[in-house]
Structure 1
């Protein structure tokens, strides 16, 4: 049962049908669109959905499928079924084109029967062979004209017509040339046809100078069109031949029509199949336009929809370059009736209409705009109460019309019903309207029906929260900006945000205070709690999104690190392998040279000259294979004599390091090498000239690769990471902290900026694992705050 009678227009399904019609190629498909109806048969719906999904796959595959000449030949069949009648050439031409399209469809489905099982089964409707098509093609050419060889008689007649036309043309050309030479015709005139007969233009004053018959004259009367008497008989013969041709063509078409007449019932079925194919293709085209899918239909009552979208609204928003907010819906036997609340213009009615339209589309065998893994069910009854049904003729007010609908729902709703009620209980005094709505809601819940109800009444929200089978739903709202988010959240009621919206538009505090006092403190607290929950949820979702973003980035960086490590390990193995190969080759070469030298010495019986030469070659080889050493030049250091005292410059004898004496205790001397301090034995030191200290320090830096003094002068306690990539900062931070620690610096400062916090997180995660770091913290708010990390190193 469907309620009310104009249900399809209320949920805009009539517009869906118009869009599908626009995708049809002919009236054959449009006729099927007109017959779309609500079905309760799960088996039939699965079949219809499978057919459309298969055709959607054909369109996506790009395979060739006949796309034109889905011609409605039913009027021609009606004409041809009457004995004695015949179809004209153009009518048979359209029948031929339709039969060619039919043939192409059949051949496609036969070729791909394993891929498109449901569509292949449709060809069982066609019990027509190709004999009629062959008969038509034997008679008509590709342009739809009767062929010359359609019969022997027609061939002879047309051959004779051609001969007479040629003869006529020759005679007329001769007469016209003679008349033109005499000046009897206009200057720019030429032979033409009038009344089906060949004539020539003659000046009106000369019309009696040529024997013949006048068939017409020009608009000005200055020229007449004359048929010379000499060609009269030829024109008469041509006219007779044309009559003969027409009678023969009529005979041929009559015979062709007679041969078609017994096949008319099969032709009807065959073109019904063609119309069905056009219809299914139109549904598939529409499905592609609205990005629709084929969901799973469950026998148990469940509605698990993912990314559901109103197809008409989404199309309008696309034209405005906007995106629709998809809907997530989950109803089952424990949560059957969804009571949606929330602010005005927050999307309650759109959500209700979206679910109603999509469910109706599904039960009409259409693919629906949800994700393919969504689960749907089928209902036997579909009730809806949307909009104003005020009826002046029946003296029904708006509220009375709603009550009439509620009466119908309460009487007939059951567990196989889905219903939709928009703005439940409105239209009368709120206190009474809310009470009546509450009692109706409880009655509907008791019937086991499924559905969606939108309301502003607080008592209905409370009932939904306490009753089994009912569930609250809220339209999400941005509390800070007081803007709707158009997202449905199932499981909690929504606030109407009436006070907040009133405050936003500028109502005075006195008015709002009076309203709060009359609403009651408990009700105000309840709405505040809903607002607080909504705000906290928004913040939580924002934090969750940021965390997920950071986690994705971290995973990406970890993957890049692992890939880099694998690459380095592979390169290291390859270098070791190559080194081993080269070492083995070098060793083999050396061994061969040694063996050759020994053999030379033996063969020469230890001859001195030969032995000397062999040894020389061996020494040369030894020098050639010996690894090169990097030699660092060292300046001359002037060593001074005398007792070593505090403040003297000294050099450590065993390693050449230069230092300054800062303390002496017995035979232990405390020295300073740059910022590094150490204790050494007195006998390991020698006193050097201060003038050469600088040169020696530079030479030592070249030998060791690290100049403490110059590093101290060049080192900056600030590191700027802004604009760096994640993979770059690891080595920068590591070197920065290591150098600071080696130079004995206590406090460092790393500038990474705020942004999304990615560089800050990478920096601090790295600092946590560094043994030289004692602690780190944010900079003062006036000097960068969280955009700068202060690092304290261990002493």
Structure 2
């Protein structure tokens, strides 16, 4: 009671002065409050009572302050409760992968990938996957009669329909795909399980009949009926007949719903009656296990014989049972098995065809995208080629102009002029092979001057037979610039042509009457025929791509230096350097060098389909 006490053995209780408050259930311990702490305990009790009085006073003050706001508080409680309710529904929808289906006011049931929410969560906790349900009922087939093996999923299918429909009509999102369609039913009648009662004198069958009476008496076109094991619980022949009559009454009332049964007469009745449709739960005959998949359109077999064999029932019992029911029943069951097998086969075929069609569509779409990319790249490449062709044409025209200027400045003899004109004609024919180039070449060729016939030189007497000697006036074979021999050493001679001194074979020298000392200074600067021919051959054999893969950095940079120099000299416009990816060291070294070249306007990686980062495209200024 909030008093501080000491547990003491009964024999020692008189040795402590104080108040005995209680003793243990066994009587071996008494609880004594010592006299020394009685006053302290009294003080504690007083303080506790004062605390309670203070708490009461504070609560009264708070209640007095809140009392005027009671209506607002009640409204807030309702709002919070509603928000909590909405949040709880949303969390449950997320947990069960629920979606918002299409809704209609009247009866409608078209569900895809429907799952029983509690079964879904239970299997998920076990690490197993649920088999979803696809079910479609229409005004012409509004009552589904499901048959199939025991433990095949008929009742689960029935309960899934009831739970999801009730969830929707209670404002909860059902776990279905969002292309599903739900309607609103005015009533939902359910007959599942065994309602037998000793107190009410109800057997299993009589309890079912009482439920059927309620459905027939209250059912209307907007009602949903869910009945498990329809017609069971009594003698099969009369039970099947009564069930068929009740099912006929359901059709007349316009009810919607799902019923499960094993009765053959109900399967036949559903096949021949408008408003009814057969359905079956599929079963794997080879593995002897249910597939838990609903198939609408054909009745299902109970697989009683196959299941009996699987359980190990003696063969003589099974054969006797087949003889009792007759060959017609056994054959009918076999026909249903064959239908189920064929349906499964064609469903697999249809699924495989759909997958192939999807793959073909994806492949076609990818090819169309790649074709569009190639067309775009083709337009880009053609544009670049035309631009490069214009640059080549401009470079060729400039080369022709330089050749004309060289001929004029060199005052060439007739043979050299004819050679130059021959090469110009050859280049013109080469350029005419390119579209739109021939006219420019013809125009420049017409502008080339005719060869000026130099006055024949009067060679000194005996020049034809006299050997080359120091001080002789000579010229190179095929050239018009005179020079003076400074030194002769065997078959080599040192000759000065204006400001240029060179050593050549004496066989290439010819005596001339021209005075080298009086020749114009500009004649000392000349380009030999061999040099011009070499330059043109290099230009004709120049390629816009260079491959430096496998080279060391210094080797690659030396090769690229000569390559870029030629490209700038020949007005290449755009070139490509193939260096590969590798570690990237060669690529970086090449680009550092390109940054130092004045003739390089820009550079970039090649398009990914033509080499990507392994090729550098260089645009020249």
TM, length-normalised to structure 2:
0.58
Tell me, yes or no, if structure 1 residue 542 matches structure 2 residue 456: no
* CA 450–225 in structure 1, closer or farther in 2 if over 3 Å, else same: closer
Deviation at 1:487, TM superposition (A): 0.8
Provide the rounded CA distance (Å) in 2 between the counterparts of 1:368 and 1:511. 47
- Cα distance in 1 for partners of 2:268, 2:213 equals 23
Structure 1 stretches of 5 or more lacking a match? 1-193, 196-218, 228-234, 630-795
- Provide Cα deviations, 1:289-321, integer angstroms capped at 9, x if missing partner: 111122222123211111111011111111111
User: Deviation per CA, 1:118-147, whole angstroms, max 9, x where unpaired?
Assistant: xxxxxxxxxxxxxxxxxxxxxxxxxxxxxx
Could you tell me how far 1:593 is from its partner in structure 2? 3.3
- Taking structure 1 as reference, are residues 261 and 322 closer, same or farther at Cα in structure 2, changes over 3 Å only? same
Per-residue deviation at 1:283? 1.2
Given candidates 516, 523, 527, the residue that maps to 1:613 is: 527
C-alpha distance in structure 2 between counterparts of 1:562 and 1:377, whole Å: 43
Tell me: CA distance 1:342–1:226, structure 2 relative to 1, closer, same or farther (3 Å). closer
CA deviation string 1:458-509 (max 9, x = no partner): 0011111111111111111112222211111112111111122223333344
Question: How far does the alpha carbon of each residue in 1:93-133 deviate from its partner, in whole angstroms, 9 at most, with x for none?
Answer: xxxxxxxxxxxxxxxxxxxxxxxxxxxxxxxxxxxxxxxxx
Report the alpha carbon displacement of residue 510 of structure 1 after superposing the two structures with TM: 3.4
SS at match of 1:613: coil
CA distance in 2, matches of 1:450, 1:220: 79
Match of 1:381 among 172, 180, 187: 187
Q: CA deviation at 1:426?
A: 0.9
Q: Please give the alpha-carbon distance, in whole angstroms, between the structure 2 residues aligned to 1:539 and 1:406.
A: 39
Residues 1:626 and 2:540 are matched in the alignment: yes
Q: Distance in 2 between matches of 1:318 and 1:246?
A: 52
Work out the CA distance in 2 between the residues paired with 1:416 and 1:572: 65
- Note if 1:471 corresponds to 2:385: no
1:341 touches 1:473 (CA, 8 Å); kept in 2? yes
Per the TM alignment, residue 376 of structure 1 is displaced from its structure 2 partner at its CA by 1.1
Q: Where does residue 316 of structure 1 map in the other structure? A: 122
Q: Which residue of 2 aligns with 1:110?
A: none
Q: Distance in 1 between matches of 2:254 and 2:124?
A: 39
> How far apart are residue 619 of structure 1 and its match?
2.0
Asked whether the 8 Å contact 1:593–1:618 carries over to 2, the reply is no
Report deviation, 1:603.
4.9
Q: What SS class does the counterpart of residue 527 from structure 2 fall into?
A: helix
Give the root-mean-square deviation of aligned CA atoms. 3.6
| Distance in 2, Cα, partners of 1:557 & 1:475 | 36
On the 8 A contact 1:479/1:534 being kept in 2, the answer is no
> Is residue 504 of structure 1 aligned with residue 333 of structure 2?
no
Structure 2: how far apart are the matches of 1:373 and 1:402?
36
The Cα of 1:433 is off from its aligned counterpart by 0.8
- Superposed displacement of residue 565, structure 1: 5.7
Q: Report Cα offsets for 1:198-229 as digits up to 9, x if no partner.
A: xxxxxxxxxxxxxxxxxxxxx999x99999xx
**What is the alpha-carbon distance in structure 1 between the residues aligned to residue 62 and residue 246 of structure 2?**
69
Distance in 2 (CA, whole Å) between partners of 1:546 and 1:363 is: 38
Can you list the C-alpha shifts for 1:502-555, whole angstroms capped at 9, x where unaligned? 233333443333322322322222211111111111122223333344444455
Instruction: Tell me how far apart the structure 1 counterparts of residues 313 and 209 of structure 2 sit (CA, whole Å).
Output: 35
DSSP 3-state at the match of 2:189: strand
CA displacement at 1:596 relative to structure 2: 2.7
Larger Rg, first or second structure (1 or 2) = 2
Trace 1:81-480 onto structure 2 (pairs within 5 A): 254=60, 256-480=62-286
Q: How has the CA–CA distance of structure 1 residues 625 and 573 changed in structure 2, closer, same or farther, with 3 Å as cutoff? A: farther
Quick one: higher RCO (CA 8 Å, sep 6+), 1 or 2? 1
**Deviation (angstroms), 1:577:** 5.3
| Structure 2: distance between partners of 1:438 and 1:582 | 88
Which residue of structure 1 lines up, in the alignment, with residue 405 of structure 2? 599
In 1, Cα distance between the equivalents of 2:75 and 2:65? 18
Q: Tell whether 2:328 aligns with 1:522.
A: yes
Distance (whole Å) between structure 2 residues aligned to residue 404 and residue 225 of structure 1: 75
Tell whether the 8 Å contact from 2:105 to 2:184 is kept in structure 1 after alignment.
Answer: yes
- Paired position in structure 2 for 1:155: none
- Could you tell me whether the CA contact under 8 Å between 1:477 and 1:484 is conserved in 2? yes
Residue 392 of structure 1 deviates from its aligned partner by 0.9
Match of 2:394 among 588, 596, 600: 588
Q: Relative to structure 1, is the Cα distance of residues 595 and 413 closer, same or farther in structure 2, using a 3 angstrom cutoff?
A: same
Stretch deviating more after TM superposition (476-485 or 614-623): 614-623
Report the equivalent of 2:558. Answer: none
Distance in 1 separating the partners of 2:84 and 2:130:
30
Distance 1:410 1:226, change over 3 A: closer
Q: Provide the rounded CA distance (Å) in 1 between the counterparts of 2:301 and 2:57.
A: 82
CA distance in 1, matches of 2:169, 2:241: 34
The one-character-per-residue Cα deviations of 1:724-757 (angstroms, maximum 9, x if unpaired) are xxxxxxxxxxxxxxxxxxxxxxxxxxxxxxxxxx
Whole-angstrom distance in 2 between the partners of 1:273 and 1:467: 52
TM-score (norm 1): 0.46
Equivalent residue for 2:618? none
Query: Judging changes above 3 Å, is the alpha-carbon distance between structure 1 residues 254 and 326 closer, same or farther for their aligned structure 2 residues?
Result: same
How far apart in 1 are the matches of 2:178 and 2:333? 38
Aligned partner of residue 486 in structure 1, secondary structure: strand
